[in-house]
Amino acid sequence: MDTYTLLKDIFHTIRKDYAGFEEVKERHNPSPALTMLAEAHYNHKMTPIMPLQAVSQYLSNLRDRNLKFTMDPDKNYQPFSRGFYVRRCVEGLFVDEVTSETRLQVGDKVLTINGQTPERIVSTLPNPLLASDIPEREQWTGYLKLADHMIAEHGDGTQEDIVFQKYPHDLPKEPQFNKKEDTVILKFSKFESSEDTEQFLQAHQKDIEQCKRLVIDLRKNIGGSEDGYLPLLGYIVKNDGLLKDIYGDRTIWTNYTETNCQRSIDNLQPYLKSEDADVKEYVQSAISYYEQMKSVGWVKGEQELFADGETCITKVGPEDVVILIDTWCENEAEQFVRIAKEQGRAKLIGRPTMGNIDYLNPIKVRYENYEFTYPISKTDAAKNGNGVNDKGIEPNQYIPFTSSELKTASMIDTVIKK
């Protein structure tokens, strides 16, 4: 498939088939992606990675991280990390996490990237690659991958020209337990299975039962599985109840266009070869359903629960529960935060979450060695203009990001001193 046909199909999909277009249409701007690739063709500099960069930048402007465009790894391309992450505030752009890059430390200040100051980059970008108008919510990872080097100022005042390296993708860390005075802190960077979470909790059950305050740290949690937070629900519910009642409103709207239905059928077809009779029967039923729904348009329905709705959630743990949240709390972790806020028992401290839970039921589309993912359903809240896209879930106590936070565990300290 040629690049122009690929772009045309993706642009059409966003306008006609993507569940969130009505909410993001004011930010829909294909021009920079088209210009970028046209210039590459004209200057004979077109490479297989350029469509990945162009489409990724186009999607980032829509500010819905459910929209994804990836390229299959090969000998010329491997997904990579820069080995560190940065964050901006009124004081400047700072390194806020280091994973592999040994030349940097948390707290180092970024003076320039490819010769331009962060402030200059923000003011001159032709297309908002940073995916936010709020400095502390900006997403610099993609921009750093396009750059070659930066000047960093270390804590001792010395400056260093950091020529970027490519490191393996960073993986989520294992759950972490910590105890400070009468406070127990549980940190999750990803929710795996309910069995994994239950095993972790059991290992620290005595401390959790005896603590006066429980802190659940979800500031950097990519989500994972809703099933993974099931054992934690008892610590945030106000009273005992059933999962179907505690979860909250599950009303969704699904866009049954002909394209969405056909793509759903195409994704199901391989499972017809399954030797499991139950799987085969389910797939045949689903395919028949999508055939019937072709071109029906928007249909109201109910989101399926990740576990039996009759599952009893029993209130446990101390009454004083705090959940730490931040921009990089997203997906399934964000659903957990939403439930916690609706329950009203736990106090949310930090900064608004990513805002990824308005859209769901993703479809994957293959374009040779590329894959495009987009959701075809939206929540009732999103449909009625009450979604969290580009805003996130607000904390009960907001703590703005400053560089001083990088030198201390200030958010944890705030909770303990409360």
CATH number of residue 102's parent domain:
2.30.42.10
CATH number of the CATH domain containing 207:
3.90.226.10
Mean predicted lDDT score pLDDT of the chain = 95
Number of domains in the chain: 4
| Dist. CA 387–CA 66, nearest whole Å | 14
> pLDDT-derived band of residue 371, with 50, 70 and 90 as boundaries?
very high
Count the alpha carbons within 13 Å of 311 in the hemisphere toward its beta carbon: 16
**pLDDT tens-place string over residues 329-356:** 999 999 999 999 999 999 999 999 999 9
**pLDDT tens-place string over residues 156-172:** 999 999 999 999 999 99
Residue 127 has pLDDT above 60, yes or no: no
> pLDDT-derived band of residue 407, with 50, 70 and 90 as boundaries?
confident
The answer to whether 271 touches 280, Cβ cutoff 8 Å, is yes
Residue found by looking up tokens 């101390």 in the block: 318
Buried b (16+ CB within 10 A) or exposed e, 210-238: ebebbbbbbbbbbbbbbbbbbbbbbbbbe
Instruction: Tell which of 31, 46, 71 closes a domain.
Output: 71
Residue % of the chain over a pLDDT of 70: 99
> pLDDT-derived band of residue 126, with 50, 70 and 90 as boundaries?
low
Is 104 inside any structural domain? yes
Let me know whether 315 and 279 are in one domain: no
Let me know whether 100 and 188 are in one domain: no
Let me know whether 404 and 314 are in one domain: yes
Let me know whether 410 and 357 are in one domain: yes
Q: Tell me, letter by letter, the H, E, C secondary structure of 230-276.
A: HHHHHHCCCCCEEHHHHCCCCEEEEEECHHHHHHHHHHHHHHHHCCC
| Dist. CA 180–CA 413, nearest whole Å | 10
Residue 151 has pLDDT above 80, yes or no: yes
Let me know whether 203 and 276 are in one domain: no
Tell me which residue range forms the domain holding 143.
84-163
pLDDT of residue 96: 96
Residue 148 has pLDDT above 90, yes or no: yes
Let me know whether 180 and 141 are in one domain: no
3-class secondary structure, 150: strand
Is 77 inside any structural domain? no
**pLDDT tens-place string over residues 233-256:** 999 999 999 999 999 999 999 999
Is 9 inside any structural domain? yes
Q: 362 is written with which tokens? A: 């993703």
| Dist. CA 398–CA 403, nearest whole Å | 16
Instruction: Tell which of 134, 163, 192 closes a domain.
Output: 163
Is 410 inside any structural domain? yes
Strands 347-350 vs 397-398: parallel, antiparallel or unpaired: parallel
Is 66 inside any structural domain? yes
Let me know whether 8 and 153 are in one domain: no
